[in-house]
Structure 1
């Protein structure tokens, strides 16, 4: 059952955008996209909050997400969040019936 995370990164002075740009330019984002079990990793800009970047991150299952959280990249991501002084809010959605074709998810 797939898991989708919405991570909202918020900071001052366009720092959330700078964070996302550095995640992309440093190659960290591509490393995550290439991890076993990652189905999607995309950044978006909410229209109602210029100081926030939304990351939608989708994983095949909980074990692939757990492996990602154990990776060395998590330290790099944390350092970048600190560098840009960002707060983070996370919403988690998990597929409830095992059939991703019908988009049935529950918010955790």
Structure 2
């Protein structure tokens, strides 16, 4: 059962976009995408809210997501979120069993 998570990072004065750009340029995004069980990790910019960045994050199952949450990547992401003083809102979705 795949798990999709929408993470909304919101800041001020363009800090959310700067966060996403640093996530890309620092290699954190590439490292997360290479983690076992990651199926999607992409940033989007809502047209009507320039201070928010949406991350769509998809994992094969809860085990893969749990391993990601325990990884060094999560510490790096948390440090960057703090650096840019971002608020976070999370929505979680699971696929229905087939």
Shorter-chain TM-score category?
over 0.9
Quick check: which has more Rg, 1 or 2?
1
Runs of 4+ in 1 over 6 A off after TM superposition: none
- SS of 2:36's partner is coil
Displacement after TM superposition at 1:78 (Å)? 0.6
- SS of 2:18's partner is helix
Distance 1:27 1:5 in 2: 21
Residue in structure 2 matched with residue 105 of structure 1 by the alignment: none
How does the TM-score come out when normalised to structure 2? 0.98
1:64-102 CA distance string (max 9 Å, x none): 00000000111111110000000000000001124xxxx
How does the TM-score come out when normalised to structure 1? 0.89
Distance 1:97 1:48 in 2: 34
Corresponding pairs, count: 98
Residue in structure 2 matched with residue 8 of structure 1 by the alignment: 8
Distance 1:73 1:97 in 2: 29
Aligned positions of 1:1-108 closer than 5 A: 1-98=1-98
- SS of 1:48's partner is coil
Segments of 5+ residues of structure 1 without an aligned counterpart are 99-108
Greater relative contact order, per chain length (Cα 8 Å cut-off, separation 6+): 2
Displacement after TM superposition at 1:48 (Å)? 1.1
Displacement after TM superposition at 1:38 (Å)? 0.1
